[in-house]
Structure 1
Amino acid sequence: MSDEIVQPSYRWVVVFASALILAISMGSIANGLSAYIVPMQETFGWQRGEIALINSIGILGLAFGGLVMGPLADRKGTRPVVLTGVIVLGVCYIAASFATSLWQFYTLFFIAGFFGAGAIFPPIMAAVGNWFHIGAGVAIGIASAGQALGQGGVPFASSFLIKRFDVDGAFSLTGLAMLICMVPLALLLRQPPPVQTTQSSSHSDETTASPTNRVIATLCVAIILCCTCMSVPLMHLVPLIQDQGIAAEDAAGVIFIMLVVAVAGRVAFGKLADMIGALQAYMTATAWMTLLIFGFTYIENLQTFYVYAIVYGFGYAGVMTGVLVSIRVLIPQSRRASAFGIVTMFGWFGHAIGGFQGGMLYDLTGSYTIPYGVAALAGVLNLIVVSSLFRKTRTPLNLAVGQAS
């Protein structure tokens, strides 16, 4: 006989509140600026690389901020840290509506990333994982699905706001919406109660791999590569489609559909991680994304973009779920929030690199062929790294699962 872990029902409130917060915050900071690239180019006369750098600086702020805010949430609790983050993020977006120069946008988005999104992403992902002792893959998949929805929904909504209210009005209204929606959601977050058990034959899904430091380091290398790959279409699919003479609203609709499908993909790959293992699910999603990403450069009509984005979106979505569940499974709880902060920091580095190189290489070549080729190469290297981690941890993980059973 072994102890059956009793999981409180409130964990699902935390999951869905977290999913909605991630939808708005990560959709705004990770690639929300994609809808602004062409309008800001037309309004201010800046190059696409300079505008994409605004987004990259915000992501760098998120990367460094998460390194600080993850451990802070361990000490102070999830709610106050996340609440601070949503307020800062909303205020920075409102302030951006008054910006008129690049340095102002760079400064505001770094603050929004460091003190805003950096105080949201690692604490929330650690909290969701800690509320679930069994079935954490599905829970993390649902929470991260919110991020996918936001990464499609925010640019889609922004394209209509920009058309109706111009760039400054869109920034202002988005900031107000953040404060109205996310503050009440942040107040719903709580720390998980102590684990309660009853006598039965069941077990937790938590396992640990050794040595932990090596696992964290390998995941850092893997995530910087996978995010360099995935961030190129997230930031540059809309302008790529616009370059085919397609309207901005239709272009934004493609990425919106892609990321709506990604909602299902993140949940599906979370379930897959519970069934076959986190790293196996991660490798499957990585291979899917890598094989398909360069194909975007061959498409010339809107209907094909929609179909291709749906297929790509479902598989690409599993990459981040695979990373997050791998952290949950491979890292002990005592170091999990710090690990989320460290690993996701490198992930946001990858997002910043991918988004910036996409704009920079476009400015140099006048085409997205090379940027998407670089993305595909990063995907191949990521698959090699994750495969090596799987080989190194396979035996310890199998033993750990067997002992838990």
Structure 2
Amino acid sequence: MNTSDPQPAYRWVVVTAAALILAVSMGAIVNGMSAFIIPMQENFGWSRGDTTLINFAGILGLAFGGLVMGPQADRRGTRPVVLFGVIVLGLCYVLASVLTSLWQFYLLFFIAGFFGAGAIFPPVMAAVGNWFFVGAGMAIGIASAGQALGQGAVPFVSSMLIASLGIKGAFAAIGAFMLATMIPLSFLLRQPPALSAAQTNTRNATPQAELPTNVVILYLSAAIILCCTCMAVPLMHLVPLIQDRGFAPEQAGSVIFVMLIVAILGRLAFGKLADIIGALPAYMTATAWMTLMVFGFTYVERLSTFYVYAVIYGFGYAGVMTGVLVSIRVLVSPAHRASAFGIVTMFGWFGHAIGGYQGGALYDLTGNYTASYAVAALAGVLNLVIVSNLLRKQRRLAYQPACRNR
């Protein structure tokens, strides 16, 4: 077998299974709770800040769980670890249907994040990359697009389930759906065939930059916690913001569903843009797009305007995570890439948790979402400052050898 041989056709089965698993699991754990915020507030009397902490607990569990469960997949294989994760996540949602206390939700969703989503996200993303000795970036983009689909579909479907089945019935139905769909999909995840020496050399080609790995991880970790703080506010609080304008939960859920459908195209488009202008400039473009638009949600009053604004915002914001993943691939050597991915994305989940919680907490303090979305915009600006400094370091490093060669 040589590098001109076709890659295994089964790799696209893995990509498809990965995209669907990420759609259901990440849609549920990252922002699926957004549909439950107001219903829980009305039914249990809990504040939005307290309710949002449920989502905070789940993402915190995901952040720490990925560091622990990822290495387990390296030792035990992808399938058993992911299978364990989907079972835990599905059962946690079923169990949530009988809970009545906030502390119980906090504990349960931390477990769902740590042992459930934490056992799914890193192994699945690594599995997709492992099946491609060339062209892994597009494959990862497709899998990531599946996640974007789920982050729109799960809150939308949850809103309809809550309306028809109530809070408890919605949790039970979502959990049952997880178990019925993700368990069979997990069995499609196989270990890739061994690569030839030539293919291994192609896969492990020298990265495009030579910045120290610890510098790259430091800068990208600081950047991603800020950009995810920014993006988490509309992900968690756009649905309740629209409901506060007097629209039905189903209408509010449909807006974020449309936004994240468009985000599928955005993730692929910004992956292509990174190939043209570079990973960090593409990342900065997406972050600037998101930062300039995020506060504008607070000025929208009409449902039709929400749809239009969400479509434009969603296309640009979606490129942020694509930019981060491509930047890691470009700036970090293959020997340290997996570790860098785990560390940087951990800080990304921290940012999601922080952004979602502060959105609810500031709403409780002020009675509206103006301060919440203002903090989101400020986090986006600080992200741009950090990434621009990293870009200057990269360009300075590339410039110095050119000067020496004159």
Name the TM tier (shorter chain): over 0.9
Deviations 1:124-148 (A, max 9, x none): 2222223333333221111111111
**Which residue identity does 1:219 align to in structure 2?**
L
CA distance in 1, matches of 2:247, 2:18: 35
Query: Are 1:74 and 2:67 counterparts?
Result: no
Query: Are 1:150 and 2:150 counterparts?
Result: yes
CA distance in 1, matches of 2:397, 2:131: 25
Residue in 1 aligned with 2:258? Answer: 257
CA distance in 1, matches of 2:306, 2:16: 31
Residue in 2 aligned with 1:172? Answer: 172
Residue in 2 aligned with 1:342? Answer: 343
- Note the 1:364-383 alignment, pairs <5 A: 364-383=365-384
Residue in 2 aligned with 1:131? Answer: 131
Asked if the contact 1:152/1:259 (under 8 Å) is kept, the reply is yes
1:195 partner SS: coil
Residue in 1 aligned with 2:85? Answer: 85
CA distance in 1, matches of 2:60, 2:400: 38
Query: Are 1:220 and 2:238 counterparts?
Result: no
Deviations 1:112-168 (A, max 9, x none): 000000111112222222333333322111111111100000000000100111000
1:206–1:145 distance in 2 versus 1, CA, 3 Å: farther
Residue in 1 aligned with 2:394? Answer: 393
- Note the 1:103-142 alignment, pairs <5 A: 103-142=103-142
Q: Could you tell me how far 1:192 is from its partner in structure 2?
A: 2.8
Q: Could you tell me how far 1:9 is from its partner in structure 2?
A: 2.4
- Note the 1:192-341 alignment, pairs <5 A: 192-196=192-196, 207=207, 209-341=210-342
**Which residue identity does 1:281 align to in structure 2?**
A
Asked if the contact 1:135/1:205 (under 8 Å) is kept, the reply is no
Q: Could you tell me how far 1:338 is from its partner in structure 2?
A: 2.3
1:217–1:4 distance in 2 versus 1, CA, 3 Å: farther
Residue in 1 aligned with 2:404? Answer: none
Asked if the contact 1:140/1:270 (under 8 Å) is kept, the reply is no
1:224–1:274 distance in 2 versus 1, CA, 3 Å: same
Residue in 2 aligned with 1:403? Answer: none
Deviations 1:156-215 (A, max 9, x none): 00001001110000000100101111111111112333333779xx88766164311221
CA distance in 2, matches of 1:197, 1:5: 13
Gap runs ≥5 in structure 2: 402-406
CA distance in 2, matches of 1:143, 1:121: 10
Gap runs ≥5 in structure 1: 401-405
Q: Which moved more, 1:384-393 or 1:82-91?
A: 384-393
1:132 partner SS: coil
Asked if the contact 1:224/1:347 (under 8 Å) is kept, the reply is yes
2:318 partner SS: helix
1:203–1:62 distance in 2 versus 1, CA, 3 Å: closer
Q: Could you tell me how far 1:69 is from its partner in structure 2?
A: 1.4
CA RMSD of aligned residues (A): 2.1
1:194 partner SS: coil
- Using structure 2 for the length normalisation, give the TM-score: 0.93
CA distance in 2, matches of 1:81, 1:131: 17
1:330–1:128 distance in 2 versus 1, CA, 3 Å: farther
1:205–1:156 distance in 2 versus 1, CA, 3 Å: farther
Deviations 1:29-61 (A, max 9, x none): 000000000111111010000000000110000
CA distance in 2, matches of 1:154, 1:145: 14
**Which residue identity does 2:306 align to in structure 1?**
F
CA distance in 1, matches of 2:79, 2:287: 33
CA distance in 1, matches of 2:190, 2:379: 38
Query: Are 1:8 and 2:3 counterparts?
Result: no
Asked if the contact 1:134/1:204 (under 8 Å) is kept, the reply is no
1:19–1:103 distance in 2 versus 1, CA, 3 Å: same
1:198–1:49 distance in 2 versus 1, CA, 3 Å: closer
Asked if the contact 2:204/2:334 (under 8 Å) is kept, the reply is no
Q: Could you tell me how far 1:98 is from its partner in structure 2?
A: 0.6
CA distance in 2, matches of 1:293, 1:370: 12
1:205–1:173 distance in 2 versus 1, CA, 3 Å: farther
CA distance in 2, matches of 1:3, 1:52: 49
CA distance in 1, matches of 2:146, 2:379: 25
Asked if the contact 1:73/1:123 (under 8 Å) is kept, the reply is yes
**Which residue identity does 1:315 align to in structure 2?**
G
1:367 partner SS: coil
1:111 partner SS: helix
Asked if the contact 1:88/1:112 (under 8 Å) is kept, the reply is yes
Q: Could you tell me how far 1:218 is from its partner in structure 2?
A: 1.3
- Note the 1:23-42 alignment, pairs <5 A: 23-42=23-42
- Note the 1:15-26 alignment, pairs <5 A: 15-26=15-26
Deviations 1:74-113 (A, max 9, x none): 2222221111111110010000001000011001100000
1:332–1:198 distance in 2 versus 1, CA, 3 Å: closer
CA distance in 1, matches of 2:213, 2:6: 28
Asked if the contact 2:86/2:179 (under 8 Å) is kept, the reply is yes
